[in-house]
Structure 1
Amino acid sequence: MSQEIEQTAENAIEKSGIARVIPCKTLDKFACFRWIALAINDFKQAKLISFTYGFIFTILPLSIYFLVYATEWHLVIFPAMVCFMLIGPFLAAGLYDVAWQFEKQHKPSLRHSLKAMSRNAVNEWGFGLFLMILMIFWLRVASLIHALYPEYLEFTFANAWPFLALGTIVGAGFTVLVFFISAFTQPILLERKVDLATAVLTSMNAVWRNKVPMFVWSCVILFSVFLGFVTFFAAFLVIMPILGYASWHGYIATIETKRTRKFE
């Protein structure tokens, strides 16, 4: 019965009629650790470029934090996060380009990586806007949940736990949705001249067909982000470039091509 449900869900993605879906491979449960090993090697070979991107990924959340602290105006988080959602895909594309150049046995450069977004600019920026819209929607839902909390009640765990639980469940749902949408979309748009719908549906299909290995990968990402926060973003200096490179290697290992890549 479960197999029939899974097959139906797969067909729903592949036969949606919205766009074509690029086939994917079946991954090993712990495939992501091979991607990380390859990413660490990329980091070692391009330390200057990696630290440059890592510094940017570190300074952005730090800037948001200090801006909120200095102004005591928490609403500044919203426009700051909007900017980050637009800049994030641009930075990620640069990291993917570095890993891609290594795989083609070319010497990567910061200048070349910064031009990565121009290969499929309309769809790349469209993806950034799409993520931004999802983030705005989530912030509005979070505000609504917060508004449901009665003002006359003292804020204690006993009083707040239903709202905290609801916020956690809804937040987890948005996180899963964004992961399905974004796991492979950006690398697809970088390497292939395809439309945004094709890239998004291909990513969703690949994650669905590899639920266990992608769950392991998502846990690695969550732990890495948690590590970044507990170190007051300092760990992002190394973590973010490695996650970027690993995401590219995950894309290469997962999404199929009609012709074998010369650098595989």
Structure 2
Amino acid sequence: MSESFKQVPQSPMTQSGIGRVIPCKKLEAGDPVKWLVLGWRDLARAPALTAFYGLIFAAIPWFITYLVTLTGWHLVILPSIVCFMLIGPFLAAGLYDISWELEKGHKPSLWHSIKAVKRNAVNEWGFGILLAVLMIFWLRVASLIHALYPPYLEENLQNLLPFLALGTVIGAGFTLLVFFISAFTQPVLMERRVDLATAVLTSMHAVWINKVPMLIWAAIIATSVGIGFITGFAGFIILMPLIGYATWHGYIDTIEVKRGRHYE
């Protein structure tokens, strides 16, 4: 094992009362910042692999935007986003594998990270499909809210405000649901090879009992996504791998793992 890692006593575990939920630890408000620091260390130790996955994460939204600009056909957005939701977990699995290999003192490789999706392939696909279904549902709801806007009203802030408020509230609730479901599901599936229901319930339980630190983590992710869009997707080259590496350390910090370990 690398000298950067050592065995440490496990933090107290919190049981959920649900048999299929893996126990998790109580977090401190500053823990998400620590995950970023550890994620940055992984990024610096695997720059070539980081660039490979980062370019993919940046290329996908750029390609969607390019298709819309080229064709003027906004209907390509839905299938494109659905495809991204399906392959996103597999890209994240590669990043988690890199951090995992560094944790074990191994030299990560592209092929090894690509093969990470085979560890729990059925449930990984199930997770991707679940995210895609949720995304389709949200887009349908957003379309319904848009359809409710009376065409005879003038488009000013006063008239638009009720619909903007409704969309914001529903969108925030939907985003929160997705965050609960997906915060740690992928790392659980990778390391534990459990079924999808166990991984999802574990993720939801971990977020629920760590509301403040996980809210901070959600804000960090949202800020990173915002920076990525502001920079014309170039920011995703660094930020998405960083979030992926940090998520793995968040998983190690939060969910009971097979063996006690700590990354310094």
Query: Same fold, TM exceeding 0.5?
Result: yes
Q: 2: CA distance between counterparts of 1:110 and 1:252?
A: 22
Q: Which runs of structure 2 are paired with 1:139-218 in the superposition (5 Å)?
A: 139-218=139-218
What residue number does 1:257 align with?
Answer: 257
The list of structure 1 runs, each at least 4 consecutive aligned residues, that deviate by more than 6 angstroms after superposition, is: none
The aligned counterpart of 2:133 is 133
Residue of structure 1 in register with 2:229 after alignment: 229
Maintained 8 Å contact 1:93/1:116: yes
Match of 2:10 in 1: none
Alignment-derived partner of residue 243 in structure 2: 243
> What amino acid maps onto 1:86 in structure 2?
L
Instruction: Report the CA distance between 1:257 and its aligned residue.
Output: 3.0
Equivalent position of 2:103 in the other structure? 103
TM-score with structure 2 setting the length: 0.92
Verify the 8 A CA contact 2:94 2:114 in the aligned structure 1: yes
Runs of 5+ consecutive residues of structure 2 not aligned to the other structure = 1-13
CA-to-partner distance for each residue in 1:155-178, whole Å, 9 max, x for gaps? Answer: 111111100110000000000000
Q: CA deviation at 1:14?
A: 3.5
Is there any run of 5+ residues in structure 1 with no aligned partner, and where?
1-9
Written as runs of structure 1 = structure 2, the 5 A alignment for 1:22-37 is: 22-37=22-37
Residues 1:62 and 2:62 are matched in the alignment: yes
Q: State the 1:263 CA deviation.
A: 7.8
Alpha-carbon distance change, 43 to 259 in structure 1, aligned in 2, over 3 angstroms: closer
- 2:34 corresponds to which letter in structure 1? R
Return the letter of the residue paired with 1:59.
A
Structure 1 Cα separation of the partners of residues 76 and 138 of structure 2: 16
1:21 deviates by: 0.4
Letter of the 1:79 partner, please give it: P
TM-score, with length taken from structure 1: 0.92
| Residues 120, 190 of structure 1: 8 Å contact kept | yes
Give the paired residue count: 251
Partners in 2 of 1:236 and 1:226 — Cα distance? 10
Instruction: Give, in whole Å, the separation in 2 of the partners of 1:60 and 1:137.
Output: 21
Q: Work out the CA distance in 1 between the residues paired with 2:192 and 2:205.
A: 17
| The 10-residue stretch of structure 1 (19-28 or 90-99) with the greater mean CA deviation from structure 2 | 19-28
Give the residue type in structure 1 aligned to 2:241.
P
Paired residue type of 1:196? L
- CA spacing shift, 1:258–1:72, aligned 2, 3 Å: closer
How far off its partner does 1:260 sit?
A: 2.7
Residues 105, 263 of structure 1: 8 Å contact kept: no
In the alignment, is residue 121 of structure 1 matched against residue 126 of structure 2? no
Give the structure 2 partner of residue 6 of structure 1.
Answer: none
Percent identity of equivalent pairs: 63
Counterpart secondary structure, 2:216? helix
Q: Distance in 1 between matches of 2:85 and 2:58?
A: 14
Cα distance in 1 for partners of 2:92, 2:145 equals: 32
SS in 2 for 1:242: helix
Letter in 2 for 1:256: E
- The alpha-carbon deviation at position 146 of structure 1 amounts to 0.5
Equivalent residue number for residue 82 of structure 2: 82
Q: 1:258 to 1:234 in 2, by over 3 A?
A: closer
Whether the 8 Å contact between 2:184 and 2:203 is mirrored in structure 1 is yes
- Which residue does the alignment assign to 1:92? 92
- Pairwise CA distance, 1:214: 0.4
- Deviation, 1:258, is 5.3
Q: Distance in 2 between matches of 1:221 and 1:56?
A: 18
Verify the 8 A CA contact 1:30 1:213 in the aligned structure 2.
yes
Distance of 1:24 and 1:182 partners within structure 2: 15
Q: Is the 8 A contact 1:93 1:190 kept in 2?
A: yes
